[in-house]
Amino acid sequence: MDITDSQKLQKEVVKLKEQKKIIGLVPTMGALHHGHLTLVDFAFQYCDYVIVSIFVNPTQFNNAGDLKNYPKNHQSDYDLLMSNNPNTIVFSPSVEGIYGNQVQAEEFDFGSIVQYMEGQFRSGHFNGVGTILKHLFDIVKPHKAFFGEKDYQQLALVKKLVQITGQDVEVIGCPTSRTASGLAESSRNFRLTEKQLDEAALIHLSLQKAKAAFHAEKDIQEIKTIVKSLFDASQGLDLEYFEIAAADDLVPVTQIKSDNSYRGFMAAFSGDVRLIDNIAF
């Protein structure tokens, strides 16, 4: 089922809820890949029906070229979802259907979780993410919503958004889906050549080496030096940032405390394609 109209979708959701069905939501921007299907399959472990929204959200792009170049192929996305599980409902609204005549992000106070890493390098991005998710939760009213841990800051943001807005939805994170080389699955990977895909495996490899150094009790600066040297030796990748942050508030740290949990976060460019990843330390 492919629905573009919000009111039609809401009627379908009401009907399913009257039948005591559990409704899940997987928000996407399309250009679906194996990682998305993993997330949808994960959602079906909790839900009877999963609504997959396909909407390239203009308010979360701080780079007009990135928005323009974002890959789009709705028919193949729809076919992939239907062949994967016929209980999937595709929701593909227009920009006007979401924003009306005013395509503008709301302002949210997400605190420290959006101040660093992606928040530093993508101005306005997280307000755009919060805005579209608030709209989607209001339209769909799912019981549960599912997000991949590849965008860990986003996952933390969604949990905070639900606190701020009081929307009645349970937010559930799904482990990052990876290729055989360890590269995190991403729609942006479609823009990479075979050579670039091979080179991009360094992102996960360097995070793993950083984690090993972390557990060997190297200090933060020494770990950052190790990561930087790996990228300096790379021909095809440019490191934008690498940080070790506390898992609860996502504030980068300079010293490790034994009673805290941490994650390593990274962004790098392969040509003009920006790739992100993170792992638990």
Question: Would you say the C-alpha torsion 127, 53, 275, 70 has a positive or negative sign?
Answer: negative
Catalytic residue (one of 33, 34, 36, 135): 36
Q: For residue 26, give the H/E element and its range.
A: strand 23-28
Residue 84 CA, distance from chain mean position: 21
Q: Which residues pair with 273 in a beta bridge?
A: 270
Instruction: Report the 10 Å Cβ neighbour count for 252.
Output: 18
Cα–Cα distance, 229 to 27 (Å, whole number): 37
Indicate the helix (H) or strand (E) that contains 240.
Answer: strand 237-246
Cα separations in angstroms, 163 against 101, 170, 190: 28, 11, 35
For the question of residue 74 being annotated catalytic, the response is no
Mind telling me the catalytic residues? 36
